[in-house]
Amino acid sequence: MSEILQVKNLSVEFDTYAGRIQAVRGISFGIREKKVTAIVGESGCGKSVTSKAIMGLIQKPGKIAPESRILFRGEDILRYTEKQWESFRGQKCSIVFQDALTALNPTMNIGRQITEKIRVHRKTGKKEAWQEGIHMLEQVRIPHAAMRMKQYPHEFSGGMRQRAMIAIALTLHPELLIADEPTTALDVTIQADILDMMKEIQRSQGMTIILITHDLGIVADLAQDIIVMYAGKVVEKGSAEDIFYHPAHPYTEALLRAVPRLDVSGGRLETIEGAPPNMADPPSGCPFADRCKKKLPVCAKRFPEETDLTKGHHVCCWLQKEKDDDR
């Protein structure tokens, strides 16, 4: 299946008082069309920065390295003009931010926030745009949609605000949807309902989705492909089956051991001891080495090259590199 998006050697830095923070460090991956790809990893690993780079939202003091490339249907979007970005955002690619309360405009009712995008991009009339907005709220399962269009974000519950954000993102029927922690701070029943809704929309519209999360548990039934990030690096990527049943990187294994499972009774969930490295001075070797129970002497010295385990399953780990060299 073809890839709708290709990220090649992406690096993003931020100049701060604490020094130059290397948030994303030379990562590469592809996103298969009409599939759900999850980018997972703990807070601070570079997931959200990667999503903002794809949307052209990196602003000063941040900067993208000149050798970085992001190809959407073969076209390098990092070379876009501002006018091209305006056309790209919303129509070709859209994003759902993790905090709907701050992402939504508190001074505008929900209806205006939805119809504004429709009227700007489609040049439709006010009445037609309003009816389309009602339809979008109904599609994301908000009851009494016509009434809700006139209400403001503070009149919505947390789950409903998140649904409204998804409705705004889907208004122009983008080819690619980025969902950045779309269920953060919601209770588990609302989380499940929103993920189920996203799955239904993806199947009915044939949309490509990038789901960004720190929780491997919520992607088990949604994603076909998974990318694991740690300290600004991609350490493993493969199909959901590869990652869940044949994890190859110690960090991926640790993340899986921290997920509650119904098929395992008793025992305690494991924690990953230690903390991620300081991204103002990231290690030259594997960034997980200091927390890894299986580390080799070389792990702290050099970052391993990518090893192809099977078709589509790749890992950056010296343990797997040695096994591959021994074959």
* 40-50 per-position pLDDT tens digit: 999 899 999 99
Q: What is the mean pLDDT of the chain?
A: 91
Looking at residue 266, its pLDDT comes to: 62
Looking at residue 11, its pLDDT comes to: 98
Looking at residue 263, its pLDDT comes to: 64
Contact 179, 211 (CB under 8 A): yes
* 54-78 per-position pLDDT tens digit: 999 999 999 999 999 999 999 999 9
Using CA atoms, how far apart are residues 314 and 55, in angstroms rounded to an integer? 26
Q: Is the pLDDT assigned to residue 322 strictly greater than 90?
A: no
Sequence-distant (≥ 6) Cβ neighbours of residue 181 within 8 angstroms: 48, 98, 212, 213, 214
Residue spans of the domains in the chain: they are 3-92+174-326
* DSSP structure string for 141-162: T-SSHHHHTTS-GGGS-HHHHH
Question: Between 264 and 168, where is the model more confident?
Answer: 168
Sequence-distant (≥ 6) Cβ neighbours of residue 65 within 8 angstroms: 9, 10, 11, 12, 13
pLDDT band at 135 (very low <50, low <70, confident <90, very high): very high
Tokens linked to 279: 């991204």
Report the Cα 103 to chain-centroid distance in Å. Answer: 16
Strand partners of residue 177: 94, 209
HSE-CB at 56 with a 13 A cutoff on CA atoms is 20
Tell me which residue of 261, 230, 231, 269 sits closest to 244, measured CA to CA. Answer: 261
pLDDT band at 323 (very low <50, low <70, confident <90, very high): low
Tell me which residue of 148, 146, 183 sits closest to 164, measured CA to CA. Answer: 148
Q: Helix (H, G, I), strand (E, B), or coil: what is residue 78?
A: helix
pLDDT band at 324 (very low <50, low <70, confident <90, very high): low
**What is the 8-class DSSP label of residue 327?**
-
* Percent of residues, the chain, with pLDDT higher than 70: 96
Looking at residue 101, its pLDDT comes to: 82
Q: Is the pLDDT assigned to residue 262 strictly greater than 90?
A: no
Using CA atoms, how far apart are residues 304 and 294, in angstroms rounded to an integer? 15
Q: Taking residues 283-311, report their average pLDDT.
A: 93
The amino acid at 103: A
- 110-122 vs 82-91: helix axis angle to the nearest 10? 120
Q: Helix (H, G, I), strand (E, B), or coil: what is residue 58?
A: coil
Tokens linked to 192: 């499940």
**What is the 8-class DSSP label of residue 280?**
T
CATH 3.30.420.40: does it fit domain 3-92+174-326?
Answer: no
Looking at residue 300, its pLDDT comes to: 92
Q: What is the pTM of this model?
A: 0.93
* 207-239 per-position pLDDT tens digit: 999 999 988 888 888 999 999 999 999 999 999
